A and B are shown apart, each in its own frame.
Chain A
Amino acid sequence: MLGEIEKLKAEATASLNQIRTSDDAENFRLKYLSRKGSLAQLFEKLKDVPKDEKPAIGKLLNELRNALESEFESVRKKVEAEKSRQSSKVDLSIPGRRRYVGRKHPLTQTADEIKRIFISIGFGIADGPEIEDDYHNFEALNFPPDHPARDMQDTFFVKSETGKYVLRTHTSPVQIRVMENNKPPVRVIIPGRVYRNEAVSARSYCLFHQVEGLYVDKNVSLAELKGTISFFAKEFFGSDVKLRFRPSYFPFTEPSAEVDVSCFICGGKGCRICKYSGWLEVLGCGMVDPNVYKFVGYDENEVSGYAFGMGIERLALLRYGIDDIRLFFENDLRFLNQF
């Protein structure tokens, strides 16, 4: 009898460990714990056990039953829990609900970066009208009437019976407005929209955006201008960019310079983007011409200063490797979503 009890114990324990599903559990219950199960059959045999052995054997059997029942119960719960977990499981591979994702236009992002850099070195921001009078757009910037320098910028004229008005061809008239309204020192950048009467193509659009810069104070020098532009270029294009200042001409600056940066596409070796020169033209600048001070009532012997201007589209084209300026104004979302 003792042998039979031990055998059943070993057998039941082993089979308990094999229970995986609720079917397994039911089979186990039927086989061992039901009224006709193996354990009940052993209890049946208890009546044949000699009287003096009965209490001990009976105790053993009761212990075995209690142990099996409690172990079975915990296994059964586990299996049931697993079963209900399986049945109510959320499919976490389903994607989230899509929402609109907004973003700023690449021109705005580029302008933001330019503004960030100049604000970090003490520049303020100024603004001015896009429909300008001839005086601010040209004359006060030392473009005399009937001067060939006016050919440098193809101009849109606005119909008016009261005066000569243009769509500003550059942000430079705001320089004049800033100096007219503020005593030196002044140090500002002027972002804004400008217009050129040029046929629309991959390389030019009838309007674009500029960031103008102006700093007038005591003893501002060309060296200071170079330092400022170099700082900007390294921040914007990366610290390993090389710069080249070469003499140029703008009526409102003297001396004047065009600034080229080493082509970061080809590393200066020459490619299609830099037209095989190794250099990319990025901005124009110079020392404010004394004639401009005369127009705004500054004393050229007291102050000196510099001005610069850059095209946001030009910088954005270079920054993102875009080859057609019209893309900025078509607003194809497949384009805008890339930035």
Chain B
Amino acid sequence: MKISRNWLEQFVDLTGISDQDIASRLTMLGIEIESFENFSEKYKGFVVGSVLEAEKHPKADKLRLCKVDIGGEIKSIICGAPNVAVGQRVPVGLIGALVPHDQHDPEGKPFKLTRAKIRGVESEGMICSAYELDLGDDKDGIMVFEAAAPLGKSLAEYLELNDTILEVSLTPNRADCLSHLGIAREISSAFSKKLAIKKQSLSESGDSITGIAKVEVIAPDLCPRYSARVIKGIKVGTSPQWLKNAVEKVGMRSINNVVDATNYVMLELGQPLHAFDLSLIKGKKIIVRRPLNSETKFTTLDGKERTIGPDMLMICDKEKIVAIAGVMGGMNSEINSETADVLIESANFSPSSIRKTSKTLGLSTEASYRFERGVDPNLTLAALDRVTQIITETAGGKIANGVIDAAAKKFAPQKIELRVEQVNRLLGTRLAAGEIKRQLDSIEIRCEKKSETVLTCSVPTFRGDIEREVDLIEEVARVYGYEKIEDSLQTKLAFDTRFNETDATDELKDFLAGAGFTEIVTNSLQLTNVASFHTDNFVTIANPISEDMAAMRTSLLPGALQTIKLNLSHGLKNMKLFEIGRKYLLSDKSQTVGNFSERNTISLSITGSADPLSYDRKESEFDIFDLKSEIERLLRHLKLDNWDFISYDNDKEYKQSLKLFVNGIEVGIAGRVSEMALENFSIEQSVYFAEIDLSEIASTKKKINRYQPLPKFPFASIDLAFIVNLDTPVGSLMKSLKSIAGNLFRDISVFDIYFGEGIPEGKKSVAFSVVLGSDERTLNDGDIARFIDNAESKLGKEFSAVLRKQKS
């Protein structure tokens, strides 16, 4: 919202208070001033000049050497604009002035005018375009003023811009500040200045209003108050310059002297107003009601046909709708050049009703914005008088005698009790009752002592946001100043252990970073097609920003591939990436929220060389066993030992695909990403990817392992090699060996796999190292021989394996 300093001066004396002071004090009162612009500062060094001569530049066809009179002084100025001509009144920037936009800079940065020679001729200033002056978009030529523009006058003064415009960012609770009066009220409190509100004195010279127009409120629940006045015999025309300047300066468009007056008073006092052409109101009667079943369409002032619903409040005459209450008027009763008699509406509407209507219609206006935040119900009459006065001053006419005021009730200040002790308890202060009273008094909240410790506070109706004791406490804190409340930090350090669970992911992230993985963080919103690639049970966004973010991710794979694609495009080929994030699925079972299941998931991606930039080792590409190795390392780190990889058929996402089971529960998948999936990301090298459900493998509960006594007797390590068929799974051999070892089993690993020369066709040699041990005794040669015999015969039976050699 834009606020004009000059306008504020009508309510409060700002002499000696700088723009910066106003901005910082208001900001510290919770009225955030985002920025302010002082136009007399901005246009310092710009004056109105008159072009006396415009000769061709001797060395450049497109430039002209101008002599410009800036009021008693003649300046030589070079101008490149095609429209410059003798006799024009133009804006002239003098040496030292800061031109708001440089036309030749792509970003339009400001620049300072210096004395410059252009092709050998000196220029003592610049004639500016509207764009250069930040007064419009026109870059094609210089601005040309009316012939009567006074020579030498400062530009800001000539354009009536001798003002500062404050850009205010208001929180939705402070509806009372949506006007110059509201901001002035805060300033009067901040600087202890008196707020001056002028009383209007209207000369009502017409007939009594009761004979001219009537108002009936059928829906008082949505319209607690409807006030109106009538002015007859006005002349609609363009607004006088002051009115035009006033509304345009704060960002509104000037329409005509009646509409501008209603907008002016809204900006001044905060009361939205609407003027109807009385001759277009059938039966001269305003009826405030919900629409009839038959009324479903209405054309608003902007010429658009709107579909209206049964809960929207309408302003009607005897036959038809004439306005959507509090949102926008209609074409059918609009003020036009023929309008002579006007009925001015100054009403109060239910905030939630206006908001619903505005949301449903997708139509937000200055009026609806204010109504949905809440307007003072006691403002209708003052605003009505003010706008009536301005209209009669600018458009003439006779004011009908009297005012219509249909009010459901009296709107009296609310009384709220405030406990001094509660103020101090909540704020951590030691304020006395008198001090609290003084603070509230400065914002027009009057307090009486109910007892020594309780104040009865009377809240003015313009502060609809203050309804409870705690709201008053906030006002006390706000006006007293947050900065005066002393910091305190004395809470007890611990009181329970309910929230002491450490996040397992924190520790995992450290582990994975240590294992050479770089953490990535990717978008959890995806294309619907991408989400549905992995499952049909995906979550859909009802109002996505765009189609490529219309679903919640069902896998971390697309994010990883996207990352790999980006980095490949920068010439990076080798990557180890991890992500820990959620997958979102629809579930049959009911979850914490609805039937949405959020699974915390860890993803590992490896691509490129396993040993990048090594100078003496063969560059070997990552393969599925590198991926398995990383997963196994992670599982070992988590002290899980009962895991299993089962290969399964999946031609869609993965080529070599494995399911990971831990303690018999499926927790994840791993594999080489399929060509089809890679093609979607134009990736031409192999990517190995695993995705593991974190909640299944990493408990958030801190697990403390019990100590196991160290083995008393040495272990025996036995190396065994078997010749088996090429297609015999090594994993199965290992499982068998493990079961053969029984309770002597301690560990097993594969140390060699070989086929080719020396091994029969269609066979391979697999060598294992098996560790055996006992808690009771040292194993003897007999134990070991028995194991080897068993292994030889059992594996021989199960896999036709032939024991190749033995070492111990």
Q: Which residues of A contact B (CB under 8 A)?
A: 94-95, 97-105, 107-108, 112, 115, 121-133, 136, 144-149, 151-152, 156-160, 162-163, 165, 167, 182, 185-188, 193, 195, 197-200, 206-207, 215, 217, 219-224, 226-228, 230-231, 244-249, 254-258, 275, 287, 289-290, 304, 328-334, 336-337
A-B contact pairs, 22 of them (CB 8 A): A94-B615, A101-B516, A103-B513, A108-B509, A131-B552, A132-B593, A136-B593, A145-B352, A149-B172, A156-B542, A163-B594, A165-B594, A219-B425, A221-B426, A221-B488, A223-B427, A223-B428, A246-B32, A247-B30, A289-B470, A304-B426, A336-B518
For the A-B complex with A158-B596, A185-B496 known, give 12 more contacts whose Cβ atoms are closer than 8 Å: A112-B506, A122-B493, A124-B500, A126-B499, A221-B429, A223-B486, A244-B28, A254-B471, A290-B468, A328-B521, A332-B566, A334-B570
- Min CB distance B65 to A, Å, is 39
Q: Which residues of B sit under 8 angstroms from A122, Cβ to Cβ?
A: 491-495
When the two chains form their complex, are residues A131 and B539 in contact, meaning their CB atoms are under 8 A apart?
Answer: yes
- Between B30, B429, B500, the greatest number of chain A beta carbons within 10 A of the residue's beta carbon is seen for B30
When the two chains form their complex, are residues A227 and B489 in contact, meaning their CB atoms are under 8 A apart?
Answer: yes
When the two chains form their complex, are residues A98 and B30 in contact, meaning their CB atoms are under 8 A apart?
Answer: no
Knowing A131-B593, A146-B355, the reply to whether A98 touches B425 (Cβ < 8 A) is: no
- Chain A residue nearest to B519 (CB atoms) is A105
Indicate if B148 sits at the interface (CB-CB under 8 A): no
When the two chains form their complex, are residues A246 and B614 in contact, meaning their CB atoms are under 8 A apart?
Answer: no
Q: How far is the CA of A188 from the CA of B549 in the complex (A)?
A: 32
- Min CB distance B439 to A, Å, is 13
- Chain A residue nearest to B356 (CB atoms) is A146
Which residue in A98, A103, A145 is a CB contact (below 8 Å) of B614? A98
- Min CB distance A203 to B, Å, is 14
When the two chains form their complex, are residues A254 and B516 in contact, meaning their CB atoms are under 8 A apart?
Answer: no
Indicate if B184 sits at the interface (CB-CB under 8 A): no
Knowing A122-B494, A224-B489, the reply to whether A206 touches B427 (Cβ < 8 A) is: no
Q: How far is the CA of A168 from the CA of B473 in the complex (A)?
A: 30
- Min CB distance A99 to B, Å, is 6
Q: Which residues of A sit under 8 angstroms from B492, Cβ to Cβ?
A: 122
Q: Which residues of B sit under 8 angstroms from A228, Cβ to Cβ?
A: 489, 491
Indicate if B582 sits at the interface (CB-CB under 8 A): yes
Knowing A197-B543, A226-B482, A336-B520, the reply to whether A129 touches B525 (Cβ < 8 A) is: no
- Min CB distance B31 to A, Å, is 8
Which residue in A221, A227, A244, A255 is a CB contact (below 8 Å) of B425? A221
When the two chains form their complex, are residues A97 and B488 in contact, meaning their CB atoms are under 8 A apart?
Answer: no
- Between B510, B570, B574, B594, the greatest number of chain A beta carbons within 10 A of the residue's beta carbon is seen for B594
When the two chains form their complex, are residues A199 and B489 in contact, meaning their CB atoms are under 8 A apart?
Answer: no
Indicate if B699 sits at the interface (CB-CB under 8 A): no
Interface string of B569-580 (1 = CB under 8 A from A): 010101111100
- Chain A residue nearest to B475 (CB atoms) is A255
Contact residues of A: prevailing secondary structure: mixed
Knowing A104-B510, A249-B30, A331-B520, the reply to whether A206 touches B596 (Cβ < 8 A) is: no
Indicate if B541 sits at the interface (CB-CB under 8 A): yes
Interface set, chain B 385-436, CB cutoff 8 A to A? 425-429
Q: How far is the CA of A123 from the CA of B498 in the complex (A)?
A: 11
Q: Which residues of A sit under 8 angstroms from B478, Cβ to Cβ?
A: 247, 255
When the two chains form their complex, are residues A130 and B582 in contact, meaning their CB atoms are under 8 A apart?
Answer: yes
When the two chains form their complex, are residues B171 and A245 in contact, meaning their CB atoms are under 8 A apart?
Answer: no
Interface string of B368-382 (1 = CB under 8 A from A): 000011000000000
When the two chains form their complex, are residues A147 and B489 in contact, meaning their CB atoms are under 8 A apart?
Answer: no
Which residue in B359, B477, B595 is a CB contact (below 8 Å) of A255? B477
Interface set, chain B 333-360, CB cutoff 8 A to A? 351-352, 355-356, 359
- Min CB distance A88 to B, Å, is 17
Q: Which residues of A sit under 8 angstroms from B518, Cβ to Cβ?
A: 102-103, 333, 336-337
Indicate if B598 sits at the interface (CB-CB under 8 A): yes
When the two chains form their complex, are residues B584 and A156 in contact, meaning their CB atoms are under 8 A apart?
Answer: no
Q: How far is the CA of A228 from the CA of B518 in the complex (A)?
A: 34
Knowing A108-B519, A126-B499, the reply to whether A245 touches B483 (Cβ < 8 A) is: yes
Q: Which residues of B sit under 8 angstroms from A222, Cβ to Cβ?
A: 426-429, 477, 482, 485
When the two chains form their complex, are residues A206 and B27 in contact, meaning their CB atoms are under 8 A apart?
Answer: no
- Chain B residue nearest to A275 (CB atoms) is B35
3 closest residue pairs by CB, A with B: A124-B499, A223-B428, A247-B30
Which residue in B496, B519, B540, B562 is a CB contact (below 8 Å) of A158? B540
When the two chains form their complex, are residues A255 and B474 in contact, meaning their CB atoms are under 8 A apart?
Answer: yes
Knowing A146-B352, A148-B355, A249-B172, the reply to whether A304 touches B425 (Cβ < 8 A) is: yes
Q: Which residues of A sit under 8 angstroms from B500, Cβ to Cβ?
A: 124
Indicate if B116 sits at the interface (CB-CB under 8 A): no
When the two chains form their complex, are residues A100 and B576 in contact, meaning their CB atoms are under 8 A apart?
Answer: yes
Q: Which residues of B sit under 8 angstroms from A167, Cβ to Cβ?
A: 541
- Min CB distance A192 to B, Å, is 10
- Min CB distance B653 to A, Å, is 20
Q: Which residues of B sit under 8 angstroms from A163, Cβ to Cβ?
A: 594
Q: Which residues of A sit under 8 angstroms from B697, Cβ to Cβ?
A: none
Indicate if B774 sits at the interface (CB-CB under 8 A): no
Q: How far is the CA of A146 from the CA of B28 in the complex (A)?
A: 29
Which residue in B29, B35, B512, B611 is a CB contact (below 8 Å) of A97? B611
Q: Which residues of A sit under 8 angstroms from B578, Cβ to Cβ?
A: 102
Q: Which residues of A sit under 8 angstroms from B763, Cβ to Cβ?
A: none
When the two chains form their complex, are residues A331 and B566 in contact, meaning their CB atoms are under 8 A apart?
Answer: yes
Indicate if B10 sits at the interface (CB-CB under 8 A): no
- Chain A residue nearest to B427 (CB atoms) is A222
Q: How far is the CA of A118 from the CA of B591 in the complex (A)?
A: 30
- Chain B residue nearest to A250 (CB atoms) is B171
When the two chains form their complex, are residues A207 and B525 in contact, meaning their CB atoms are under 8 A apart?
Answer: yes
When the two chains form their complex, are residues A257 and B482 in contact, meaning their CB atoms are under 8 A apart?
Answer: yes
- Between B482, B515, B540, the greatest number of chain A beta carbons within 10 A of the residue's beta carbon is seen for B482
Indicate if B797 sits at the interface (CB-CB under 8 A): no
Q: Which residues of A sit under 8 angstroms from B174, Cβ to Cβ?
A: 249
When the two chains form their complex, are residues A206 and B545 in contact, meaning their CB atoms are under 8 A apart?
Answer: yes
When the two chains form their complex, are residues A156 and B575 in contact, meaning their CB atoms are under 8 A apart?
Answer: no
Q: How far is the CA of A220 from the CA of B570 in the complex (A)?
A: 53
Q: How far is the CA of A332 from the CA of B576 in the complex (A)?
A: 13
Knowing A257-B482, A332-B567, the reply to whether A130 touches B584 (Cβ < 8 A) is: yes
- Min CB distance A324 to B, Å, is 15
- Min CB distance B694 to A, Å, is 12
- Min CB distance B135 to A, Å, is 23
